[in-house]
Amino acid sequence: MMVIRPIRADDYPALYAIAVESGHGFTSLPVNDELLMRKISRSEQSFAKAVTMPGDEGYLFVLEDSETGEVCGTSALEAAVGLDDAFYHYHLGKVVHSSRSLGVYKTVDILTLCNDYTGVSELCTLFLRESRREKNNGRLLSKMRFLFMAEFGQRFAERVIAEMRGISNDDGSSPFWQWLQEHFFSLDFPTADYLTGIGQKVFIAELMPKYPIYVSLLSKQAQAVIGKVHDKTKPALALLQSEGFSNRGYVDIFDAGPTVEARVEHIRSVRNSRRLRVNIGAQRSGQPYLVCNTRLAEFRATWLTLDINEHEEEVTLTAAAAAILLVDAGDWVRVSRI
């Protein structure tokens, strides 16, 4: 059975292997020993911390095969971004150039550097190893975060975002960054991406153009990738869109990938989730559900086929499923249809 749990210090070798496997453009998992260990330590501290409002907490989860102990993927939540370091985006907007006397009216797309998402929560660090991309594993790894947010709402902001990986070439170069590099920077895309991943963002404020950029002045290659996602990210984007996430014109400053957002209360899996009492018994045929316990430091989530009556206040779990979720008869779980 596949189970989600908080990351532990002894997961470091698996996390490092995932960081290597994730490749260029996966900013939140830099291939750096110190930074990865710091992420694990910060997550452990966040799960142990008493919180009444979102702050500088980061919750890192792993997907584990309960039979083999293999770590198969990761996903994470940031409670509130941009509180310590500036959190940058470009916003894609329009300006109008018009002259009534000359009969000229023209709209022009512009990119404006901003920090509009400061203080919102963020979905991040989602990666499922290729050999495990089957059944409902990807949905579990992504959507279980919504159950966590529903259960521990005081730890998160009212809005949540997800930065989607933009288009980059096989060698790690970004068509969008290549234009910025040529005119404003002397850093290639992998280097800039890596520096951001390890928290060295000062160069952005120092070198990024301060005034809006006219999109029409960019190279055709750069224009073509604005708001587009990497092929490997399309399933993740589709999943978030099905949950109610949408793009409001914000894109990444390095690869121009889209950032999608939603109010937590409007997310489908949050809105449709229910708390139910546990009953231990035989497995009955039914529908696939995400299920999590209601503990913080010992959080567990998995997906199960369950027979749930919408008018009842309890759910029947097998003894094996209850053991995986660290619950007993009478305990609470939160469930949401996949």
Q: Which domains does the chain have, with CATH numbers?
A: 84-118+162-270 (no CATH), 271-337 (2.40.40.20)
Structure tokens at 87: 């959190």
Helices 12-22, 33-48: axis angle to 10 degrees equals: 120
| Residue-level pLDDT at 168 | 82
b or e along 294-332 (b: 16 or more beta carbons within 10 Å of the residue's beta carbon)? bebeebbbbbbebebeeeeeebbbeeebbebbebeeebe
User: Are 318 and 282 within 8 A, CB to CB?
Assistant: yes
φ, ψ (nearest 5 deg) of residue 12: -55, -50
The C-alpha atoms of residue 69 and residue 114 are separated, in whole angstroms, by 43
Structure tokens at 298: 């010992």
Q: What is the 3-state secondary structure (H, E, C) of 242-287?
A: HCCCEEEEEECCCCCCEEEEEEHHHCHHHHCCEEEEEEECCCCCCE
The C-alpha atoms of residue 187 and residue 51 are separated, in whole angstroms, by 39
Catalytic residue, candidates 24, 89, 97, 230: 230
| Residue-level pLDDT at 189 | 66
- The closest alpha carbon to 302, from 336, 328, 272, belongs to 336
Per-residue pLDDT of 251-267, as tens digits, reads 998 889 999 999 999 99
107-111, 198-202, 227-231: lowest mean pLDDT where?
Answer: 198-202
The C-alpha atoms of residue 43 and residue 4 are separated, in whole angstroms, by 14
User: Are 277 and 332 within 8 A, CB to CB?
Assistant: yes
The C-alpha atoms of residue 272 and residue 131 are separated, in whole angstroms, by 31
Strand pairing class (332-337; 314-317): unpaired
Structure tokens at 101: 């006397």
Q: Is 311 considered catalytic here?
A: no
The distance of Cα 111 from the centroid of its chain, to the nearest Å, equals 23
The C-alpha atoms of residue 125 and residue 148 are separated, in whole angstroms, by 16
Structure tokens at 210: 């301060």
Per-residue pLDDT of 57-99, as tens digits, reads 999 999 999 999 999 999 999 999 999 888 889 999 999 989 8
* Angle 91-93-97 from CA coordinates, rounded to 5°: 145
Q: Pick the residue with more confidence: 67 or 180?
A: 67
Report CA-CA distances (Å) from 307 to 210, 273, 275, 287, 312.
56, 15, 15, 6, 11
The pTM assigned to this predicted structure is 0.90
Structure tokens at 167: 């288009």
Segment 194-213 shows an average pLDDT of 70
The C-alpha atoms of residue 216 and residue 293 are separated, in whole angstroms, by 51
Predicted confidence band of residue 226 (pLDDT cuts 50, 70, 90):
very high
Strand pairing class (159-163; 121-128): parallel
Per-residue pLDDT of 282-318, as tens digits, reads 887 889 999 999 999 999 999 999 999 888 899 999 9
Predicted confidence band of residue 22 (pLDDT cuts 50, 70, 90):
confident
20-34, 68-82, 159-173, 180-194: lowest mean pLDDT where?
Answer: 180-194
